[in-house]
Structure 1
Amino acid sequence: MNIFQLLRKKKELIPLVLMMTAAAGGASSFAIYSLQKSDVIIDRKRNPEPWETVDPNVPRKLLTINQQWKPIEELQKVQRATK
Protein backbone atom coordinates (compact mmCIF):
# COMPACT_ATOMS: atom_id res chain seq x y z
CA MET A 1 0.00 0.00 0.00
CA ASN A 2 1.29 3.44 -0.90
CA ILE A 3 2.09 5.81 1.98
CA PHE A 4 -0.05 8.56 0.46
CA GLN A 5 -3.04 6.24 0.19
CA LEU A 6 -2.57 5.26 3.82
CA LEU A 7 -2.44 8.92 4.88
CA ARG A 8 -5.62 9.63 2.90
CA LYS A 9 -7.44 6.82 4.68
CA LYS A 10 -6.11 7.54 8.17
CA LYS A 11 -5.78 11.31 8.49
CA GLU A 12 -4.79 11.06 12.16
CA LEU A 13 -1.34 9.80 11.05
CA ILE A 14 -0.49 13.05 9.22
CA PRO A 15 0.75 14.97 12.33
CA LEU A 16 2.80 11.94 13.40
CA VAL A 17 4.44 11.67 9.98
CA LEU A 18 5.17 15.42 9.95
CA MET A 19 6.70 15.36 13.43
CA MET A 20 8.85 12.30 12.66
CA THR A 21 10.03 13.89 9.42
CA ALA A 22 10.93 17.12 11.24
CA ALA A 23 12.76 15.19 13.98
CA ALA A 24 14.74 13.11 11.48
CA GLY A 25 15.63 16.21 9.48
CA GLY A 26 16.72 18.10 12.60
CA ALA A 27 18.82 15.20 13.86
CA SER A 28 20.58 14.72 10.54
CA SER A 29 21.22 18.46 10.09
CA PHE A 30 22.71 18.68 13.60
CA ALA A 31 24.90 15.66 12.89
CA ILE A 32 26.21 17.32 9.74
CA TYR A 33 26.76 20.57 11.67
CA SER A 34 28.68 18.71 14.39
CA LEU A 35 30.93 16.94 11.88
CA GLN A 36 32.15 20.31 10.60
CA LYS A 37 33.44 21.34 14.03
CA SER A 38 37.16 21.22 14.77
CA ASP A 39 36.86 19.02 17.86
CA VAL A 40 35.43 16.10 15.85
CA ILE A 41 38.15 13.93 14.32
CA ILE A 42 37.15 11.95 11.22
CA ASP A 43 40.54 11.42 9.55
CA ARG A 44 43.31 10.93 12.10
CA LYS A 45 46.02 10.23 9.52
CA ARG A 46 45.85 13.59 7.75
CA ASN A 47 45.58 15.76 10.87
CA PRO A 48 46.25 13.82 14.09
CA GLU A 49 46.03 16.91 16.35
CA PRO A 50 43.36 19.28 14.97
CA TRP A 51 43.02 21.10 18.29
CA GLU A 52 46.40 22.74 17.69
CA THR A 53 44.96 24.84 14.85
CA VAL A 54 41.85 26.11 16.69
CA ASP A 55 41.54 29.91 16.75
CA PRO A 56 40.65 30.94 20.33
CA ASN A 57 38.84 34.06 19.12
CA VAL A 58 36.24 32.09 17.14
CA PRO A 59 33.43 30.67 19.30
CA ARG A 60 33.08 26.90 18.93
CA LYS A 61 29.79 26.40 20.74
CA LEU A 62 26.30 26.63 19.31
CA LEU A 63 25.56 29.41 21.82
CA THR A 64 28.32 31.39 23.52
CA ILE A 65 27.58 33.87 26.31
CA ASN A 66 30.37 36.11 27.69
CA GLN A 67 33.26 33.84 26.73
CA GLN A 68 36.69 35.18 27.55
CA TRP A 69 39.81 33.29 26.48
CA LYS A 70 42.99 33.67 28.50
CA PRO A 71 46.10 31.59 27.86
CA ILE A 72 47.29 29.38 30.71
CA GLU A 73 50.96 30.06 31.33
CA GLU A 74 51.88 26.50 32.31
CA LEU A 75 50.35 25.09 29.15
CA GLN A 76 52.10 27.69 27.03
CA LYS A 77 55.45 26.72 28.60
CA VAL A 78 54.83 23.02 27.98
CA GLN A 79 53.77 23.70 24.40
CA ARG A 80 56.91 25.77 23.72
CA ALA A 81 59.12 23.12 25.34
CA THR A 82 57.71 20.25 23.29
CA LYS A 83 58.07 22.01 19.93
Structure 2
Amino acid sequence: MGIFQTLMKKKELIPLVFFMTFAAAGASSFAIYSLKKTDVILDRKRNPEPWEAVDPSEPQKLITINQQWKPIEELQKVRRATK
Protein backbone atom coordinates (compact mmCIF):
# COMPACT_ATOMS: atom_id res chain seq x y z
CA MET A 1 0.00 0.00 0.00
CA GLY A 2 3.05 2.27 -0.10
CA ILE A 3 2.36 3.47 -3.65
CA PHE A 4 -1.26 4.38 -2.93
CA GLN A 5 -0.35 6.16 0.30
CA THR A 6 2.28 8.19 -1.56
CA LEU A 7 -0.27 9.09 -4.25
CA MET A 8 -2.78 10.22 -1.62
CA LYS A 9 -0.17 12.41 0.07
CA LYS A 10 1.13 13.90 -3.19
CA LYS A 11 -1.87 14.22 -5.47
CA GLU A 12 0.17 15.94 -8.20
CA LEU A 13 1.70 12.54 -9.05
CA ILE A 14 -1.64 10.98 -10.03
CA PRO A 15 -1.66 12.33 -13.64
CA LEU A 16 1.98 11.31 -14.09
CA VAL A 17 1.26 7.77 -12.94
CA PHE A 18 -1.81 7.60 -15.17
CA PHE A 19 0.03 8.72 -18.31
CA MET A 20 3.05 6.50 -17.63
CA THR A 21 0.76 3.49 -17.15
CA PHE A 22 -1.13 4.34 -20.35
CA ALA A 23 2.14 4.71 -22.31
CA ALA A 24 3.54 1.42 -20.97
CA ALA A 25 0.32 -0.43 -21.84
CA GLY A 26 0.30 1.06 -25.34
CA ALA A 27 3.95 0.16 -25.97
CA SER A 28 3.41 -3.38 -24.71
CA SER A 29 0.30 -3.90 -26.83
CA PHE A 30 2.06 -2.58 -29.94
CA ALA A 31 5.03 -4.89 -29.33
CA ILE A 32 2.74 -7.89 -29.03
CA TYR A 33 0.82 -6.81 -32.15
CA SER A 34 4.08 -6.42 -34.11
CA LEU A 35 5.28 -9.87 -33.13
CA LYS A 36 1.99 -11.46 -34.27
CA LYS A 37 2.17 -9.94 -37.76
CA THR A 38 2.94 -12.37 -40.57
CA ASP A 39 6.05 -10.56 -41.80
CA VAL A 40 7.81 -11.00 -38.44
CA ILE A 41 9.37 -14.44 -38.19
CA LEU A 42 10.74 -15.62 -34.88
CA ASP A 43 11.22 -19.32 -35.65
CA ARG A 44 14.40 -19.80 -37.68
CA LYS A 45 14.46 -23.62 -37.39
CA ARG A 46 11.24 -24.32 -39.28
CA ASN A 47 11.77 -21.54 -41.84
CA PRO A 48 15.51 -20.92 -42.35
CA GLU A 49 15.00 -18.80 -45.50
CA PRO A 50 11.98 -16.55 -44.84
CA TRP A 51 12.79 -14.21 -47.73
CA GLU A 52 11.73 -16.96 -50.14
CA ALA A 53 8.13 -16.74 -48.90
CA VAL A 54 7.72 -12.98 -49.47
CA ASP A 55 5.01 -12.14 -51.96
CA PRO A 56 6.45 -9.58 -54.41
CA SER A 57 3.02 -8.18 -55.27
CA GLU A 58 2.29 -7.32 -51.62
CA PRO A 59 3.72 -4.00 -50.41
CA GLN A 60 6.31 -4.36 -47.69
CA LYS A 61 6.63 -2.57 -44.38
CA LEU A 62 8.30 0.80 -44.70
CA ILE A 63 7.51 2.45 -48.02
CA THR A 64 7.04 1.13 -51.53
CA ILE A 65 6.77 3.50 -54.47
CA ASN A 66 6.13 2.00 -57.92
CA GLN A 67 7.49 -1.41 -57.00
CA GLN A 68 7.92 -3.75 -59.93
CA TRP A 69 9.41 -7.14 -59.24
CA LYS A 70 11.40 -8.87 -61.95
CA PRO A 71 13.30 -12.10 -61.36
CA ILE A 72 17.08 -11.88 -61.61
CA GLU A 73 18.35 -14.56 -63.96
CA GLU A 74 21.56 -15.24 -62.03
CA LEU A 75 19.63 -15.86 -58.82
CA GLN A 76 17.16 -18.12 -60.62
CA LYS A 77 20.08 -20.20 -61.96
CA VAL A 78 21.59 -20.51 -58.50
CA ARG A 79 18.22 -21.45 -57.00
CA ARG A 80 17.70 -24.15 -59.66
CA ALA A 81 21.21 -25.50 -59.14
CA THR A 82 20.85 -25.78 -55.36
CA LYS A 83 17.48 -27.54 -55.41
Q: Answer whether TM exceeds 0.5 for this pair.
A: yes
What amino acid does structure 2 have at the position aligned with 1:16? L
| Number of residue-to-residue matches in the alignment | 82
Q: Which residue of 2 aligns with 1:10?
A: 10
What amino acid does structure 2 have at the position aligned with 1:19? F
Secondary structure at the counterpart of residue 64 of structure 1: coil
Q: Which residue of 1 aligns with 2:70?
A: 71
Task: Give percent identity, aligned residues only.
Answer: 71
Whole-angstrom distance in 2 between the partners of 1:77 and 1:54: 19
Cα 1:48–1:9 change in 2 (3 A) is same
Taking only aligned residues, the RMSD between alpha carbons, in angstroms, comes to: 2.7
The residue correspondences of 1:1-83 to structure 2 (distance < 5 A) are 1-38=1-38, 40-61=40-61, 63-66=62-65, 68-73=67-72, 74-83=74-83
Residues 7 and 14, structure 1, Cα contact 8 Å, conserved in 2: yes
What amino acid does structure 2 have at the position aligned with 1:57? S
Q: Structure 2: give runs of 5+ residues left out of the alignment.
A: none
Residues 37 and 60, structure 1, Cα contact 8 Å, conserved in 2: no
Deviation of residue 65 (structure 1)? 4.8
Q: Structure 1: give runs of 5+ residues left out of the alignment.
A: none
TM-score, normalised to structure 2, is: 0.64
Secondary structure at the counterpart of residue 57 of structure 2: coil
TM-score, normalised to structure 1, is: 0.64
